[in-house]
Homo-oligomer: A and B are copies of this chain.
């Protein structure tokens, strides 16, 4: 039987990153059609001390790959965080999707009880079971960044809707 922790993570990340990719594609088409500097959106933020769109996408994809790796018990892949364009962000999403789709379902068999340690060795170190990690920590953070990326674009008049955010499942 497929672990519920797999069901709660990999297919959800796939769905929402697919949605995010579609939302970003519409944003890129929007700046092209209106002859706007892409950075007007990529560097847009809802408040000066919040992350800009580009960083929101980096962090959303970070959560997807790190959380998936930790739950599966494999090394967390490193990304260079050097994206600058919409095309770079799409490539990053594709890289993360390829990684998480490659994780065997069986790796998640013990995920619910696996001990997950975040920020190990620092004052902020936290210990979770896999179940608590995905439900109380990872999903709230992941959805925060996919939603805020969408909210930044909506706030800037890009014509995307809830359906785009939700993706396909």
Contact = CB atoms under 8 A, between A and B. Distances in A.
Contact of A135 (B11, B137, B140): B11
A46 interface: yes
A34 B150 CA distance: 30
A15 interface: yes
Copy tally for this chain in the complex stands at 2
Given A144-B143, A147-B148, A169 B46 contact: no
Given A7-B131, A136-B11, A151 B143 contact: no
A86 B157 CA distance: 28
A143 to B, nearest CB: 3
A12 B135 contact: yes
A166 B140 contact: yes
A16 interface: yes
B166 A47 contact: no
B165 A140 contact: yes
Given A4-B8, A8-B135, A47-B157, 18 more contacts: A4-B112, A12-B136, A46-B46, A46-B154, A46-B155, A47-B154, A137-B169, A140-B143, A140-B165, A141-B166, A143-B147, A144-B150, A144-B162, A147-B147, A147-B151, A148-B151, A151-B151, A155-B155
18 contacts: A4-B4, A4-B112, A7-B135, A8-B135, A12-B136, A12-B140, A15-B140, A47-B154, A47-B157, A50-B154, A136-B169, A137-B166, A140-B143, A141-B162, A143-B147, A144-B150, A144-B162, A147-B151
